[in-house]
Amino acid sequence: MVSKSQVLSLCRSLLRTGRQYNDYNIRSYVKRRTLDGFRMNKSLTDPSKVNEAYAEGKAQLEVAERVLKVYLAYPPKTKNIMELKLQ
């Protein structure tokens, strides 16, 4: 069974990865998706379900890290309206 510290570490890793995105929309999406997923699964008690949810979270972390590498290599040329400074 997965320990509580492993689950918290996974949550922190997902949130940390999400903060590295330059785009406000992607940052907020990753944060919202991470917190919603962990809140949805916080009441799981069956060890097989917990392991399954943990494995899914690890897979999502790998996807987020892979997309981040591509996103940082090829950043968008236009800025989001949330990132523009008022002049």
pLDDT digits (tens, 9 = 90+) for 9-34: 999 999 999 999 988 889 999 999 99
Per the structure, the count of domains in the chain is: 1
Residue 86: predicted pLDDT: 57
Tell me what the mean pLDDT of segment 46-60 comes to.
Answer: 95
Residue 37 to residues 15, 18, 44, 85, Cα–Cα distance (Å): 12, 14, 12, 33
Q: Tokens 């940390």: give the residue.
A: 16
Mean pLDDT taken over the chain? 91
Residue 13: predicted pLDDT: 97
| Predicted TM-score (pTM) of this structure | 0.84
Token readout for 69 is 């590498």
Sequential DSSP letters for 36-59: HHHHHTTT---HHHHHHHHHHHHH
Tell me what the mean pLDDT of segment 59-66 comes to.
Answer: 96
Residue 24: predicted pLDDT: 86
User: Rg of the Cα trace of the chain?
Assistant: 15
- Please give the residue range of the domain that contains residue 33: 4-83
